[in-house]
Amino acid sequence: MTIAPFTSLICPLDHEPLSRTSTSWCCPQGHTFDVSRQGHVNLLPVQKKRSLDPGDSKAMITARRRFLEAGHYQGIAEAVSRQVLSHGSAHQALAVLDAGCGEGYYLRELAGIESARRLSLLGLDISKWAVQAAAGRDRRMGWVVGSNAALPVPDQSLDVVLCMFGFPTPAEFARVLKPGGLLLEVEAGPDHLIELREIIYPTLKAPREPRQAPEPGFKTDTVETVRYARTLNSREQILDLLVMTPHLYRATAEGRAKAEALAHLDVTVEVQLTGSLRL
* Residue number, 11 or 61, with CB nearest to ligand SAM: 61
Give yes or no for residue 12 binding ligand SAM (CB under 6 A).
Answer: no
Q: Judged by CB under 6 A, which of 93, 149, 229, 261 binds ligand SAM?
A: 149
Determine the interface stretch with ligand SAM among 8-16, 21-29, 147-155, 254-262 (rule: CB under 6 A).
147-155
How many CB atoms are closer than 10 A to CB 51?
7
Nearest Cα residue to 129 out of 43, 34, 62, 67? 62
Residue 105's binding partner among ligand SAM, Zn ion, none (Cβ under 5 to 8 angstroms by kind) is ligand SAM
CA distance 120 to 97: 9
Give yes or no for residue 56 binding ligand SAM (CB under 6 A).
Answer: yes
Characterize 99-125 residue by residue with b for buried, 16 or more Cβ atoms within 10 angstroms of its Cβ, and e for exposed.
bbbbbbbbbbbbbeeeeebebbbbbbb
What's the DSSP call for residue 64?
Answer: H
Residue 73 marked in a binding site:
yes
Residue 272's binding partner among Zn ion, ligand SAM, none (Cβ under 5 to 8 angstroms by kind) is none
* Residue number, 27 or 259, with CB nearest to Zn ion: 27
Give me the residues that bind Zn ion (CB under 5 A), please.
Answer: 11, 13-14, 27, 29, 31
Residue 181 marked in a binding site:
no
**What is the residue type of 216?**
P
Determine the interface stretch with ligand SAM among 25-33, 162-170, 225-233, 257-265 (rule: CB under 6 A).
162-170
Q: CA distances (Å), 170 to each of 173, 175, 186, 258, in order? A: 5, 9, 14, 38
Binding-site residue set for S-adenosyl-L-methionine:
73, 103-104, 192
